[in-house]
Amino acid sequence: MYKLDLQPLLFEKSRPGRSTAILPPCDVPEVALDSLIPASHLQDAPPPLPELSELDVVRHYTNLSALNMSIDANFYPLGSCTMKYNPKRNERLARLPGLGALHPYQDDSTLQGLLAILYGLQQDLAEIAGLDAVSLQPAAGAQGELAALLVAAAYFRDQEPGRRRTQVLIPDSAHGTNPASAHLAGFETVTVKSDSRGLVDLDDFKSKLNDDVAVFMITNPNTVGLFDPQIGEIARLLHERGALLYLDGANMNAILGVVRPGDMGADLMHYNPHKTFSGPHGGGGPGAGPIAVRAKLAPYLPAPIVGRREDGTYFLDDDRPKSIGRVRAFFGNTGVLFRAYCYIRSQGPDGLKRIAQHAVLNANYLLSLVKDVYPVPCGSRCMHEFVASCRSLAKERGIRAMDVGKRLIDYNFHAPTVYFPLIVSEALMIEPTETESRDTLEAFAAALLAIAAEDSESLHDAPFTTPVSRLDEVKAAKTPVLRWTP
């Protein structure tokens, strides 16, 4: 993959007068534009875009694509991001014109097939969550977090008029979006410590739980790769105080069909379908962030929701007076949701459970191969991911987590997530997912072990095989250049 060198920018390849003929000539009377739109609204010249031939464009992007690591080409054990195989069948189905050509405002009667799919997905997601109602609208996990917290706020405003719950509790191991979402939803956040096992420090939690707490946001299995068995007790304590338990669904892949958030006391949660249900990550998006809630919270969900009439026909239910409103225009990220539907249908109940089993098996097997050199501070077992620490490697040999990550690229593996979660020093967060084979896991472990034995001085310069070596990130931030200029 790295035989290629960097490419000139599109703008540097531009030559005046080059173009790609795409559109036909005008077939209605070609009246002067300024007789249709007053000249005061018109610009004199076309926009200053690059001028390229079609082959210029094709070669440019084909060559750019080859500069990327991707699931199709590389093992990508990026903890917390769940980079599993993206089935080609889903891509093919998503490209059928029956999906792309649907307009969000066409009449329900012309959408029955799609609405059946989306209704089915709502049902599936509710069942997998062990909760009662689903809104598919949020456009990403973080937007799902915000929407769910707004649902909680609306619920409390209704249930407890005249008082206001102001706090959201968040563990120190949480994803950074949790506190940001809580802040945007109008709450102040209170951090709950982790104990030495990497689980919620129950005493700290109890000391911070009071009647001002609206929601506790927990990721379980958590970001150090452990299932927190105290979850039942946590839920009980929250519910005694009238507060709600929110489950960040980023790690659902580990528990599909084995444990349901609702059964362990969660009242609301979001999914990341691009992680759990194999939507491609697209170089950073799009994803989606459907949310599932208990029945008492259902009236507040963002609308529309797909409903089913008695005659079996489907409709978009926008008539929800208690809804928090919209977080996004139109229905939601339908294309991503559609792939999730196809994935769930491909798996069925047994397949989903097997995914969790093999995700956890692969992670534990990989852990067993590397733990002597890359110790895991929290427990000797894990769920679908584990956080190893390079702390002793750094101390004894001067090899830091970032060095290991960068050097792995030379071995043709993408780096794990480094320096997250924040509670583990020199963290390497590794998530193999269920779709990788034993052979791949063993090859990856061998690379990790080999790197630990390499010369630490030269490791600081890794990677060596990529078209660029380590980048000056400080310069990028200090003197931001965010666009090309001639």
Binding residues among 81-140 for another protein as defined by CB under 8 A: 81, 83-87, 89, 91-93, 95-107, 110-114, 116-117, 120, 123-124, 127-128, 130, 139-140
Please give the residues from 427 up to 466 whose contact with another protein meets the rule CB under 8 A. Answer: 434-438, 461, 463, 466
Q: How many CB atoms lie within 10 A of CB 256?
A: 24
- 159 touches another protein by CB under 8 A: no
How far apart are alpha carbons 320 and 303 in whole angstroms? 7
- Angstrom distance (rounded) from CA 304 to CA 406: 45
In the complex with another protein, which residue's Cβ is closer, 201 or 434? 434
Smallest distance from another protein to CB 298, Å: 17
Whether the Cβ atoms of residue 220 and residue 243 lie closer than 8 Å to each other: no
Residue closer to another protein by CB (options 176, 395) is 176
String marking each residue 374-403 x if it binds another protein according to CB under 8 A:
-------x-x--------------------
Minimum distance from residue 211 beta carbon to another protein (Å): 19
Distance CA 215, CA 213 (A): 6
Instruction: State yes or no: residue 142 binds another protein (CB under 8 A).
Output: yes
- Shortest reach from residue 327's CB to another protein, in Å: 6
Q: For residues 369 and 391, which CB has a smaller minimum distance to another protein in the complex?
A: 369
Kindly tell me which of 103 and 162 has the beta carbon lying closer to another protein.
103
Least separation in angstroms between CB 414 and another protein: 6
CB half-sphere exposure, 240, CA atoms < 13 A = 9
- Write out the binding residues for another protein, residues 234-263 only, by CB under 8 A: 255, 257-260, 263
Size of the site for another protein (CB under 8 A): 200
- How big is the chain by its Cα radius of gyration, in Å? 25
Centre a 10 Å sphere on the Cβ of residue 24 and count the other Cβ atoms it contains: 6
Q: Does 371 bind another protein (CB under 8 A)?
A: no
372 vs 396, which CB is nearer to another protein? 372
Binding status of residue 370 toward another protein by CB under 8 A: no
Q: Give 308 or 353: the residue with its C-beta nearer to another protein.
A: 353
> Pick from 437, 454, 443: which is nearest to 413 by CA?
443
- State the residue for tokens 């105080």: 241
Residue with tokens 């969900």: 301
CB 253, min distance to another protein, A: 12
Q: Does 475 bind another protein (CB under 8 A)?
A: yes
In angstroms, the CA 372 to CA 72 distance is 31
Q: Got the DSSP string for 328-341?
A: SSSS--HHHHHHHH
The span from the CA of 284 to the CA of 263, in Å, is: 32
247 membership: H or E segment, kind and range: strand 244-249
Residues 272-311 that bind another protein (CB under 8 A): 278, 280-288, 302
Q: Whole-angstrom Cα distance, residue 443 to residue 436?
A: 11
